[in-house]
Structure 1
Amino acid sequence: MSDPVLAAKDIRKSYGHGASRFDALKGVSLEIAPGESIAIVGKSGSGKSTLMHLLALLDNPDSGALLVEGTDAKQLKDAAVNRLRNEDFGFVFQQFFLTPNATVLENVILPLKIAGVSPKERKERGMAALEQLELADKAKNKAINLSGGQKQRVVIARALVNNPKVIFADEPTGNLDTATGKLVEDILFDLNRENGITLVIVTHDVELAERCDRQLFLRDGVEAPAL
């Protein structure tokens, strides 16, 4: 049996000190299998975004262990962590984090540029990702001129451009109307089913969570019964 793609063992995370200390996570454990879709569900302040940031190696826990395909993240050198975040992980956030006056293609290929991929290959892989998201005709448009749904599809294309093993999506439909949000959800779940990409979704939307294989409910930094 293969190792979980990601595993957390009794991880804890606090912010601040003394009277202002906030315990965001108070001992959370989970395992995520390759190709699985999992929703981390909770209200604001439940610790769900903190957990995603730790799983994605964007932050470090105060205690406990985070394993990536069986390897303790503490044993990974900075270069290995950067490679994971740039090549094996893709990110889709509620805020689009696009460079407004850069073209759609320029935004999509940014991870490839960071990875040192040649300009020719960057363009080929960027256009392939845009075609997959039906945005190839927008490649030369500036990001600032896109609709909200188009921007989120560009973000997904950028997340896909390195053929990641895992996509982390933090409230991916939070800034979208219902119909556009449903389209974005469909794209993410199609990628999960057809490409075998592991999908980790942070959401307070129970309907979105129910589309995942499994749900982890958080309340006040600990796992809780279903909301």
Structure 2
Amino acid sequence: MSVPVLSAQNIGKSYGSGTNRFNALKGVSLEIRAGESVAIVGKSGSGKSTLMHLLALLDDPDTGTLLVEGTDARTLKGTEVNRLRNQDFGFVFQQFFLTANATVLDNVVLPLKIAGVPPRERKARGMAALEQLELADKAKNKAITLSGGQKQRAVIARALVNNPKVIFADEPTGNLDTATGAVVEDILFALNKDKGITLIIVTHDIELAARCDRQIFIRDGREDTTESGAPRKRHAGAHAGAHA
């Protein structure tokens, strides 16, 4: 069997010290394989976002081991961690983190600029990503002029521009109305199904989680095996054709 894309072995994470110490994660183990869609599910404060930040190499665990395609993350040099975060990983957050007065295209190509991709190639790849998300006509608009659904599609375009292996989505529909959120969900699951991008979604939304191949429930910093039950499969009919 192939090596997991990500493997966490008894990882823990704490913040603060002394009487203010908070144990956000208390020994979580999991494996995520290429092409899977996985939901990390839990209430606010359960540790689910902390877990995603550790898996995405945005933070380091205090205890345990995190393997990235079989390599201990602690052995990776800073330049390699930056490359993984910039090229192999794409990020879609509840907060859009777009530069309001920059153009949509400039926002989308930011990872390419960081990676040192030449301007002409940046523009071509950025426009291709916007075309895929049906936003090419908004390329020259300032990000501040977009609707919520358009902003989230711009964020997905930015996540895609480097052809990532993994997309991390933290409450990707949290700031959207139900109809627009459903469109964004369909886009993410179509990318998983059609392009084989591994999709890791952090959510408290049980219906969104149920669309994933697998759910990992987190409660009080630990995996909650009492809630998970049998794996639930993705609903049929996810598509990327609709737009918000």
Q: What TM-score bracket applies, with the shorter chain setting the length? A: over 0.9
- Displacement of 1:2 after TM fit? 1.2
Q: Which residue of structure 2 lines up, in the alignment, with residue 94 of structure 1? A: 94
Q: Which residue of structure 2 lines up, in the alignment, with residue 104 of structure 1? A: 104
Q: Which residue of structure 1 lines up, in the alignment, with residue 204 of structure 2? A: 204
**Count of residues in correspondence between the two structures:** 227
The question of 1:116 aligning with 2:102 is answered: no
Q: Which residue of structure 1 lines up, in the alignment, with residue 10 of structure 2? A: 10
Q: Which residue of structure 2 lines up, in the alignment, with residue 74 of structure 1? A: 74
| 1:226 partner letter | E
The question of 1:43 aligning with 2:43 is answered: yes
- Displacement of 1:41 after TM fit? 0.2
Q: Identity rate of aligned residues, in percent?
A: 80
- Displacement of 1:226 after TM fit? 1.6
Q: Which residue of structure 2 lines up, in the alignment, with residue 187 of structure 1? A: 187
The question of 1:84 aligning with 2:122 is answered: no
- Displacement of 1:103 after TM fit? 0.3
> RCO (CA 8 Å, sep 6+): is it higher in 1 or 2?
1
C-alpha RMSD of the superposition? 0.6
TM-score, normalised via structure 1 length: 0.99
Superposed structure 1 runs of 4+ greater than 4 Å apart: none
The correspondence of residues 51-62 of structure 1 with structure 2, limited to 5 A, is 51-62=51-62
TM-score, normalised via structure 2 length: 0.92
Alpha-carbon distance between aligned partners in 1 of 2:132 and 2:39, rounded to the nearest angstrom: 24
- Displacement of 1:85 after TM fit? 0.1
Alpha-carbon distance between aligned partners in 2 of 1:83 and 1:226, rounded to the nearest angstrom: 36
Q: Deviations over 1:64-92 (max 9, x none)?
A: 00000000000100000000000000000
Alpha-carbon distance between aligned partners in 2 of 1:137 and 1:145, rounded to the nearest angstrom: 13
Q: Deviations over 1:166-208 (max 9, x none)?
A: 0000000000000000000000000000000000000000000
Alpha-carbon distance between aligned partners in 1 of 2:45 and 2:101, rounded to the nearest angstrom: 34
